[in-house]
Amino acid sequence: MIGRRLAKIREMGAAEIAWRGKTAARTLLDRARMRVAAPRWSRTDLLAALAPLPELSAVRTALTAHRWDEAHRELTKHFAQAPRRFVISPRSKPALVGRVRQEFPDAARHAARRADRIVAGEYDVLGYRGLRFDQADLPASAARPYLPARPALPALPDWQWDPVLDRRPPRSFWSTVPYLDPACGDHKVIWELNRHQHWLALGRAFWLTGDRRYRERCLTELESWLQANPPLTGVNWASMLELAFRSLSWLWAIQLFADLETGDRSPWLVDLLVGLDRQLTQIERNLSQYFSPNTHLLGEALALYVVGRALPEFASSARRATTGRAILLQEIDRQIAADGGHCERSTHYHRYTLDFYALALIVARQTNDQAVGRFEEAVARLGTAARLLADDRGRVPHIGDDDAGALTPMTGREPDDLRDSLAIAAALVNRPELQIERAPEEALWLVGATAGLEPSTLSPPPCSGELPQTGYYVSRAGGSHLVIDGGPHGYQNGGHAHADALSLTWAVNGAPLLIDPGTACYTTDAALRDRMRSTALHNTLTIDNRSQSLPRGPFHWSHVANGQVHRWRTDQGFDYFDGSHDGYRPIEHRRRVLATHADLVVVADFVAGSDPHTAAVHWHLDPRWTVQFRARGAVFTRAGNRHDRVGLSVPGGIVDRFTGDVETGLGWCSPAYGRVEPTTTVRVRNDATAPFWMVSVFDLDPGNPVADVDWVPVWAEAGTLNHATAIRITRATSVDHVLFAEPSSADGPLWRVGDVETDARMLMYRASVGRPLACVASVDATTARTKNLELLNREPIVKASPCAASPVS
């Protein structure tokens, strides 16, 4: 441990050492002060925090005289009349409410149902539904005697308790709270409630229904939170990202609840501004520049920038906005790859990043900031990648970590539903092709009542494509959406990566079929954490029951797989992927994927090496599919749609099924953080001496199902091929041959499969009744022929609309 720390220090530059030293010294000083006198909230602090703006003179006069109620009234009047600098403002309420009610007639009822549950003390947190956080007795040191009593509301939260595990962290100085220790509970559960993002749901209901109970609930929770969380004390001060999310929620609360027509029994705006300024100061002093310079740093910078620009009432706002802007701008090229993908290789964190920059862009435009152009560039790049990764319903597969959180969960959207994020991006950068279907309600709340969210004609879905820097390759056609992971393991320490090199996910007819089983947890169960991100829990191959990448703690790795993509081809009728990784070095795993549109998906895995090995290919199904086994394969069906039928056939190996299996850990999935549910895993296992092949064939055409798959020999002169294999797919109305080959030199002689000679690296040809050669697909072929026919002049496998910018193989 000491040696590792010393090595880490030696790797630090002078700037990092100086930053860490300054931050550590300030933290030690704060801790020493806390031992002398416990920090407390003080309304008098607001006077020094305010900027010397003429329009705040009445507020300052009232604060100087300790007339808190008067200061509150003046602040309410000020915010109600101030120009709009955020996504909403009190002045935008009539127009926005009118458009929401017009376009979404059921919005008020839906908002009231969600808000009523919150008022009753029931919270949807991460993957948990209806959690109750019963408030415990607060210690005397947390009390604020100057607060007037309010009528008791049901089930005010205990802000430092995890009701799932019934545990709580110590109420100690923020930097000493061991929040990663499962003995303290799941910090994610505690923090998610303390983000106060459910206040957006209360505000939505208040605006749409006019019911003051929702406003009252928020203001009462604000007082409760301040009582339970004095400055720098406890788990809710330990993460700067959590302070950032909470600060943004409090900014929303100002705009939603600063209401001149509603009488208040306490000066809640004074209290909120005191707390907001103190939290922003804490973020400034402890930015994740070197601790978690990923989406953590982005979220912290976002809060500084957005609140700094939206609230010039604070004296520190200009400095904070400058700091936040600088970080957001510098991280565009650090965290967003040239292809638009986020470098953490997690679809969940990609959506987070898109939402971050969309909010920054909205505020930059509202406040005429110089950063508009660069933020537009970031939103356009992220949005383009997100649209490719999303299927035609706007859903993205759960690749990498997914903690089920969101930036603005106004309407309770599912975390993997990108329709609102894409609609917002489409409107912001005038890219209507990013939008899927009608813009959801949440998009209106973000871009405003007058924004154009309904393009005259929605664009067709994108064609197959690639994100070569991020490493995702997407085959899509006719409702099929296949995503292959061929990229690097992760970003920096790979904290949110999984051991999923060459894994794939697949949705058929808009329904997920082959899934990434998810995340489950971060720190509360180390064995579960490691299992859910292991190779066996992904749709790829294991060798000797090993994982390609080996974890070291919840967010680090001791051994990682390095991936390489050799070929990606996309054509009107098929897509082809060829990649490898060295996670089992010196053994190499190489995977080819051939997807013929609306017809077949052939996955061929090659194990290069020597000696006997046990290889296993895992296929993890969405729980909504059922499995029926047959000789050398299975049939997957989904209730409710007769077209949802997919066959699986293999030319060899042992096919097993696992559902909720405790011994192997197979047959489980985590649809959202905190939830683990049984599903079905199909495993194809083979004991052989390397080098050897394993092939899985999936068929989609109900009129031409696969009956059998067999190996067929590949003939070539000695030394001309590094490796090759071929299969014959016997179907109801055709016979298909598929060849995969890797020549030992670029200009080697031909090889032969059946009656066909070719130099192709991939070749598929079909014979059907009355048509001895029905169609052909090839990759890197200069010739493919029989004695009587030249195959390369034949028609493609499937006629499809041409894709602009899709290279023809």
pLDDT in tens, 242-262: 999 999 999 999 999 998 887
Q: Report the relative pairing of strands 472-477 and 465-467 from DSSP bridges.
A: antiparallel
Q: Report the relative pairing of strands 472-477 and 480-485 from DSSP bridges.
A: antiparallel
Helix or strand or coil: residue 759? coil
Q: What pLDDT was estimated at residue 808? A: 27
Q: What pLDDT was estimated at residue 800? A: 29
For 405, 586, 670, 707, 721, the CA distances from 394, given in Å and listed in that order, are 17, 40, 20, 34, 43
> Rounded to whole angstroms, how far apart are CA atoms 471 and 8?
28
> Rounded to whole angstroms, how far apart are CA atoms 570 and 575?
4
Mean pLDDT along residues 173-184: 94
Domains 290-455 and 465-793 alike in fold: no
What is the overall mean pLDDT for the chain? Answer: 90
pLDDT in tens, 616-630: 999 999 999 999 998
For 136, 227, 615, the CA distances from 155, given in Å and listed in that order, are 10, 16, 53
Percent of the chain with pLDDT over 90: 77
Q: What pLDDT was estimated at residue 274? A: 98
pLDDT bucket at 762, cuts 50 / 70 / 90: very high
Q: For residue 112, which phi and psi values (nearest 5 degrees)?
A: -65, -40
* pLDDT for 144 beyond 50: no
* pLDDT for 540 beyond 80: yes
CATH of domain 290-455: 1.50.10.100
- Reference 797, options 778, 777, 773; nearest CA is 777
Q: E strands within 622-679?
A: 625-630, 633-638, 645-649, 654-659, 668-669, 677-678
Helices (H) and strands (E) in the chain, counts: 19, 31
CA angle centred on 247, ends 673 and 269, rounded to 5°: 130
CATH class of 465-793: mainly beta
* pLDDT for 434 beyond 50: yes
- Reference 426, options 405, 388, 450, 453; nearest CA is 453
Query: HEC profile for 321-353?
Result: HHHHHHHHHHHHHHHECCCCCECCCCHHHHHHH
pLDDT in tens, 28-49: 988 888 888 889 999 999 999 9
Tell me the pTM: 0.93
* pLDDT for 137 beyond 50: no
For 41, 149, 231, 375, 698, the CA distances from 146, given in Å and listed in that order, are 11, 9, 17, 44, 69
Residue type present at position 669: C
Q: What pLDDT was estimated at residue 139? A: 40
| In the chain, domain spans | 290-455, 465-793
* pLDDT for 557 beyond 80: yes
pLDDT bucket at 493, cuts 50 / 70 / 90: confident
CA angle centred on 402, ends 117 and 511, rounded to 5°: 85
Looking at 109-123, 124-138, 577-591, which range is the least confident one?
Answer: 124-138
Query: HEC profile for 717-749?
Result: CCCCEEEEEEEEEEECCEEEEEEEEEECCCCCC
Token pair in block for residue 509:
């007819």
CA angle centred on 631, ends 626 and 636, rounded to 5°: 20
pLDDT in tens, 607-663: 999 999 999 999 999 999 999 998 899 999 997 666 789 999 999 999 999 999 999
Token pair in block for residue 303:
């809060």
DSSP string, 11-46: H--HHHHHHHHHHHHHHHHHHHHHHHS-----TTHH
